[in-house]
């Protein structure tokens, strides 16, 4: 049984966005668009999720043309189980739109050591 800590409504909306396609690496602005959260609210949530080992983060492997490399996020297996348990208990996060694309990625660093 996954441990199910208490999450705020904003955190639940982020978890819902990341749960929509758990294998997909998402970037911050796409999560912000899906959840409607502002960057000053979204990033502290992402940091806390990574600190608790619920989410992993990595930079894009290659330098894309015309824009900086993105920092990408997805749930860890433990995070996915926790998110699903939390969302099952609180099934009313902000509506989630399907992400637009799958960015190229290479894991450079994994955050999440508590």
Judged by beta carbon, residue 92 or residue 110, the one nearer another protein is 110
> Least distance to another protein from the beta carbon of 14, Å?
14
Task: Give just the sign of the alpha carbon dihedral 85, 90, 91, 95.
Answer: negative
Binding site for another protein (CB under 8 A): 27-29, 32, 38-44, 46-47, 57, 59, 67-71, 109, 111, 113-114
CA distances from 114 to 24, 46, 50 (A): 23, 14, 8
Judged by beta carbon, residue 22 or residue 28, the one nearer another protein is 28
> Least distance to another protein from the beta carbon of 16, Å?
20
Judged by beta carbon, residue 57 or residue 75, the one nearer another protein is 57
> Least distance to another protein from the beta carbon of 44, Å?
6
Distance of CA 57 to the CA centre of its chain: 9
Nearest Cα to Cα of residue 99 among 1, 23, 7:
23
> Least distance to another protein from the beta carbon of 96, Å?
18
Judged by beta carbon, residue 60 or residue 87, the one nearer another protein is 60
Q: Please give the structure tokens belonging to residue 93.
A: 């996060």
**DSSP readout, 38-59?**
-HHHHHHHHHHHHHTTSEEEEE
């Amino acid at each position: 049984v996954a441990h199910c800590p208490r999450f705020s409504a904003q955190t639940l909306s982020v978890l819902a966005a990341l749960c929509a396609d758990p294998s997909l690496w998402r970037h911050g602005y796409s999560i912000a668009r899906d959840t409607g959260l502002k960057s000053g609210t979204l990033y502290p949530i992402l940091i806390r999720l990574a600190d608790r080992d619920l989410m992993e983060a990595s930079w894009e492997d290659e330098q894309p043309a015309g824009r900086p490399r993105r920092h990408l996020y997805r749930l860890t297996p433990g995070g996915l189980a926790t998110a699903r348990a939390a969302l099952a208990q609180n099934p009313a996060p902000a509506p989630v739109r399907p992400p637009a694309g799958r960015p190229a990625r290479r894991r450079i660093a994994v955050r999440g050591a508590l």
